[in-house]
Structure 1
Amino acid sequence: MERTLPYGAWPSVIDAALAAAHDGQPEAVGFVGEEAWWTEPRPTEGGRRTLVRRTADGTEESVLPPPWNVRSRVMEYGGRPWTGVSGPEGPLVVFVNFADQRLYAYEPAATGAEPRPLSPLSPVGGGLRWVDPQLHLDRGEVWCVLEEFTGDAPTDVRRVAVAVPLDGSAAHDRGAVRELNHARHRFVTGPRLSPDGRRAVWLAWDHPRMPWDGTELIVAEVADDGTLREPRTVAGGPEESIAQAEWAPDGSLLYASDRTGWWNLYRDGEPLCPREEEFAGPLWKVGLRWFAPLENGLIAVVHGRGAGRLGILDPESGEVVDAAGPWTEFAATLAAHGSRVVAVGASPRSSYEVIELDSRPHDRKSAHSGTPAGPARVIGAAHKDPVDPAYYPEPQIRTFTGPGGREIHAHIYPPHHPVHRAPTDELPPYVLWAHGGPTSRAALVLDLEIAYFTSRGIGVAEVNYGGSTGYGREYRNSLREQWGVVDVEDCAAVALALADEGTADRDRLAVRGGSAGGWTTAVSLTTTDVYACGTIIYPVLDLANWGSGETHDFESRYLETLVGPYAQVPARYAERSPLEHADRITAPFLLLQGLDDAICPPVQCERFLARLAGRSIPHAYIAFEGEGHGFRRAETMVRALEAELSLYAQVLGLNPPGIPELELSR
């Protein structure tokens, strides 16, 4: 029976603890023998990530107990943190432990087995870090990328491909780590050996480029001593981004390049499936995979315009046949073994699950007929509705028109409740969500944080503003030197369009975002009058200092693309920075920050708040011990969500039941 209550006052079964418990997703899928393995979040276990295996009988097992945390800190965002093989004595896995960033080997089937360290510690700067490991048992080594700090500054760092002995001889001896080649580039991915073992391929780039701006595809010969000789660039450049490279079983070289304006697949330089859609994405983490070659010559791909779908590409015909199933979005992680493909997919009605696809039914005939690429099934992290799905939002995919007639892509989540409705004469409040990156994209998948608001009568609009990925290089490049302009204008355009069409209440619009989205939120509050309040989460607030020593090495020159070279346009940095315009902010806000954040450090928030001293702007600042860039602990996420809802309640005139009141300073 329907009941009428004002927006924001609807009782919901989706509380903050429930949303926190379902935060995160499986990552880094792979095969260990015939078994599928992956990493999985544990918010209620201190936010660690564990390694999970699916045994032959279908059982899911956490391979490592607390406090083991399988996560790399290379470039701070990390990347693929594990690898494994199956031998006569059972599985052998090598993984990175987050706490000390050492490489460990572990044989779970061995009696009394404990992880044993393979790499040493370093007291210098951020120490020694490892990512994208590959096991080479014939050589008795693990090949991976080493990030080595040479001083105390975040930019005192070098990265190089190395071989770490499996016998543990390097556990206390940096000298036993063998460097595979000279560290010619600032950034590298892990080398991949060709099927005959004679060549290796990897990606590299240098400041000030980010990997989605331009990378080099490098091929080298493998010498008898195992070093990589005569490296040569075979593709890529300052304005061509190679996002991934792999060897096919026949020895041909596969890679994803955006030389046409879209990340498409190439084999030995020839296009396989030229389309105006993406077959790759931004390389925020080392070891992301959007395609995986199969033994039968086919290629598993994640592709699409906007959302990424899972399909099987026939390189001879150029046809792609998508996997049948309810999943509408796939993450940048794939693994192949024989004819089997393992991926991670989700939909607006389900969270991310581990999915297996059998490519055997796919043949040349079925490719041309459009026959699905074989049965797909969930094999891990299966979605289980924690509440009645009637509480889930019902999103809409929308395209809006921004300044100059440019397109703006967005996902609109209207308020939704199975029982409650608002009075017919009331328009709903809306919160505009600005995603992080900013070179990234908001995925259209079930997110209980969004449902936390929509089920209470608060609409959410996720904006894939200009600069977002998934829509081609031209759309991505629209943010070049326009950060703090295009993103802010696009979010405002969507908010005002929703109000103009009668979808949202013009007087009850809010904005929120984390990281780069926190920047967009802060700039929006200091330069526009669109929003009544905002939630700023681990943000960039002070451009000049963030880009000159306060952030990590990976993004330390990012602003040269997003804003412009500081030496040439210093006034632009001051003009854009929320710190320099703190006196303009009039809307209440909530500021959330992790005290261990090496990417957007808390000093940025402290400096911003100092500029507000003496002004009576209602606000709250909550800093979380033990949290970095991206909250991972359940108790943190609970407090953050409840504080955010309380801000909206106080400012927008809402009355959500059972929410602790956030104390706002004035």
Structure 2
Amino acid sequence: MGQSVQTLAYGSWPSPVDAALAAAHDGRPDDVGFVGDEVWWTAPRPAEGGRRTLVRRRPDGVEESVLPAPWNVRSRVIEYGGRPWAAHPGDAGPLLVFVNFADQRLYAYEPGGGEPRPLTPVSTVGGGLRWAEPELRPERGEVWCVLEEFTGDGPTDLRRVPVAVPLDGSAADDRGAVRELTGARHRFVTGPRLSPDGRRAAWLAWDHPRMPWDGTELIVAEVTGDGVLRDGRTVAGGPEESIAQVEWALDGTLLYASDRTGWWNLYRDGQPLCAREEEFGGPLWKLGQRWFTPLDSGLVAVVHGRGATALGILDTATGEVVDAAGPWTEFAATLAAHGERIVAVGASPRTSYEVVELDTRTGRARVIGAPHHDAVDPAYYPEPRTRTFTGPAGREIHAHLHPPHHPGCRAPDGERPPYVIWAHGGPTSRSPLVLDLEIAYFTSRGIGVAEVNYGGSTGHGREYRNRLREQWGVVDVEDCAAVALALADEGTADRERLAVRGGSAGGWTAAASLATTDVYACGTVIYPILDLTGWGTGETHDFESRYLESLIGPYAEVPARYAERSPAEHADRVTAPFLLLQGLDDVICPPVQCERFLARIAGRGVPHAYLAFEGEGHGFRRADTMVRALEAELSLYAQVFGLTPPGLPTLELTR
């Protein structure tokens, strides 16, 4: 017998997808790599204080955590981090080098051989010493990596340089024992990649006010006998050309992803390998992201696509790409290769991110790690579709629509569902179309979600990214509103029950939408930017400290625009109820931004709540935080939209 279908109002459907389930499945595997024949990767542990552990998959297929709690394998270089580990198989067992989040020191560890031992010192200056992209050089007794070194107490008092750290521990208490490989010529650098013969090194560099997706330089230098990088010269890139990644092929040619044509395509020694209007690279938010990796055969494994991404094999001789077969519709920017084996991280609208291995000899792809398990009946998962909407001036807006969906419930005839417009962070980023139990938390209760990849998002070429230049707070707000109103006009959503929600840059878009439009009945604003003047003049970290020059305009030239666009300056225009969520340890979007906004909203009679979480930074990682935040968000919508979700704690709104 089939399940009988109940008729219940939208937002009141009972769902097995509770907040604890959504929190337990937050995060994804990342930083995949081979250690001999074994595959290792980092993985989230929300229930263990939000740490990231390192997982190894033994040859017999057994997964085990390499490091117990509280070790947390995560770098804070440029605050968003970078690849935090490297390991060498060794005859007596693997040697691991990793960054520990709590103190940001590099540690060496032989699994089963005692406690990790520090390789780098602690500095009390500013944010101290930080490390990313370690590459083991056992023949030299060193690990090469990027050093981020604070030189003062301010968030921008620092330098970054490629360095060599001795593996014998002699630098554990001695900064002077850390050997710099070059002078600190550039503000930002990625880790050096050594050519197969060890005679040359290549890396990326850029300087303020550019972000790496605006313009980077590809630098090649000679490696001297004493292990120094000399005579570095720029061979590609510039102020308006973004090189996203560089690698050496086995034959000593240089492979890199450049957007010189308006799309991140692959080049070998300057010659295009596969000229297409799609992306073979992306925004470098973390050092060490990999969209491609060369194989010993001369082929190249690639993560590529327009919007969604596929895992493919590029034949550099013909320019043809053959994609791996399988259910995955999205692959992350992490790849590794060993012989003819390729490891990647993929997901789909029905599966969370999994570690996937592709055998290039057979073309067979299979899940080998972090396999997706249906924690609830997949009949409760969203059934999304990708749509293209029309915005102001006829411009295209890409979005993912997740209508309300429940196998045992339907709404009364004539009722239209509430919808929440999700604005992603970045803003130079995008929302991938993958299974997200946070979205299922809403859709399975009868609340629709629309993820908007507004103008400025990645995945659709440089021209689409550049729509946001000096237009942040305008184009993103307009595009989200256009999608919301289109859904209402076509009868997909209830015009009176629209909400907007976002975190980080998406929090900015949500707040700006509440301050400048009358589209939304309420909003959820998560670790946001609210005051451009403060944020752009010393309240954020170095990496993004000049980001607003491209998003808003140079402050010295258009100071009024910074005030004009800021929700904090226009708190009097906000009349819709809102929820503000903030981590108290956030140095990217610090709590002072929320506090300033709340001070200006006080006493104005706007129903709101502010939840601030100790021990949380930019992006919530602890299970208890995520549960509280998600339940509070649903309670806001319930109160504003007149919904009755069962078993939900009530969020106290103040006026």
TM-score (norm 1): 0.98
User: 1:60 is matched with which residue?
Assistant: 63
Q: Mapping of 1:286-297 within 5 angstroms? A: 286-297=287-298
Residue number among 542, 547, 564 corresponding to 1:553 in the alignment: 542
How far off is 1:109 after superposition? 3.8
Q: 1: distance between equivalents of 2:563 and 2:122?
A: 40
The reply to whether residue 485 of structure 1 matches residue 485 of structure 2 is: no
User: 1:440 is matched with which residue?
Assistant: 429
Q: 1: distance between equivalents of 2:235 and 2:429?
A: 27
Q: 1: distance between equivalents of 2:529 and 2:602?
A: 19
User: 2:374 is matched with which residue?
Assistant: 385
Cα deviation, 1:524-559, whole Å, max 9, x if unaligned, reads: 000000000000000000000101110000000000
How many residues align structurally? 652
Cα deviation, 1:113-169, whole Å, max 9, x if unaligned, reads: 211100100000000000000001111100000000000000001000000000000
Q: Mapping of 1:119-518 within 5 angstroms? A: 119-361=120-362, 374-518=363-507
User: 1:370 is matched with which residue?
Assistant: none
8 Å Cα contact 1:91/1:109 also seen in 2: no
Amino acid aligned to 2:409: H
User: 2:646 is matched with which residue?
Assistant: 657
Q: 2: distance between equivalents of 1:254 and 1:209?
A: 23
8 Å Cα contact 1:13/1:387 also seen in 2: yes
Cα deviation, 1:629-666, whole Å, max 9, x if unaligned, reads: 00000000000000000000000111100000000001
Q: 2: distance between equivalents of 1:654 and 1:532?
A: 13
Cα deviation, 1:156-192, whole Å, max 9, x if unaligned, reads: 0100000000000000000000000000000000001
Cα deviation, 1:72-91, whole Å, max 9, x if unaligned, reads: 00000001000111011111
User: 1:117 is matched with which residue?
Assistant: 118
The reply to whether residue 543 of structure 1 matches residue 543 of structure 2 is: no
| Secondary structure of the corresponding residue to residue 90 of structure 1 | coil
Q: 2: distance between equivalents of 1:182 and 1:463?
A: 43
8 Å Cα contact 1:90/1:109 also seen in 2: no
8 Å Cα contact 1:442/1:462 also seen in 2: yes
Q: 1: distance between equivalents of 2:22 and 2:370?
A: 16
| Secondary structure of the corresponding residue to residue 89 of structure 2 | strand
User: 1:368 is matched with which residue?
Assistant: none
Q: 1: distance between equivalents of 2:137 and 2:250?
A: 17
| Secondary structure of the corresponding residue to residue 306 of structure 1 | coil
Q: 1: distance between equivalents of 2:225 and 2:350?
A: 53
Unaligned runs of 5+ in 1: 362-373
Cα deviation, 1:25-51, whole Å, max 9, x if unaligned, reads: 000000001000000000000000000
User: 2:37 is matched with which residue?
Assistant: 34
8 Å Cα contact 1:148/1:159 also seen in 2: yes
8 Å Cα contact 1:221/1:231 also seen in 2: yes
Q: 1: distance between equivalents of 2:219 and 2:183?
A: 13
Q: 2: distance between equivalents of 1:240 and 1:593?
A: 35
Q: 1: distance between equivalents of 2:161 and 2:121?
A: 16
Amino acid aligned to 1:577: S
Cα deviation, 1:284-321, whole Å, max 9, x if unaligned, reads: 00000000000000000000000110000000000000
Amino acid aligned to 1:55: R
The reply to whether residue 572 of structure 1 matches residue 573 of structure 2 is: no
| Secondary structure of the corresponding residue to residue 421 of structure 2 | strand
How far off is 1:224 after superposition? 1.1
The reply to whether residue 10 of structure 1 matches residue 26 of structure 2 is: no
Q: 1: distance between equivalents of 2:190 and 2:71?
A: 25
How far off is 1:214 after superposition? 0.1
Q: 1: distance between equivalents of 2:234 and 2:175?
A: 29
| Secondary structure of the corresponding residue to residue 224 of structure 1 | coil
| Secondary structure of the corresponding residue to residue 251 of structure 1 | coil
Amino acid aligned to 1:21: A
Q: 1: distance between equivalents of 2:6 and 2:287?
A: 51
Percent of aligned positions that are identical: 82
User: 1:588 is matched with which residue?
Assistant: 577
User: 2:510 is matched with which residue?
Assistant: 521
Residue number among 639, 650, 657 corresponding to 2:628 in the alignment: 639
User: 1:367 is matched with which residue?
Assistant: none
Amino acid aligned to 1:548: T
User: 1:620 is matched with which residue?
Assistant: 609
| Secondary structure of the corresponding residue to residue 285 of structure 2 | coil
| Secondary structure of the corresponding residue to residue 478 of structure 1 | helix
Amino acid aligned to 1:37: W
| Secondary structure of the corresponding residue to residue 501 of structure 2 | strand
Cα deviation, 1:559-580, whole Å, max 9, x if unaligned, reads: 0000000010011101100010
Q: 2: distance between equivalents of 1:655 and 1:527?
A: 29
How far off is 1:424 after superposition? 1.2
User: 2:589 is matched with which residue?
Assistant: 600
How far off is 1:225 after superposition? 1.1
Q: 1: distance between equivalents of 2:112 and 2:101?
A: 23
| Secondary structure of the corresponding residue to residue 610 of structure 2 | strand
8 Å Cα contact 1:307/1:444 also seen in 2: yes
Q: 2: distance between equivalents of 1:84 and 1:424?
A: 60
How far off is 1:613 after superposition? 1.7
Q: Which runs of 4+ in 1 moved over 6 A?
A: none
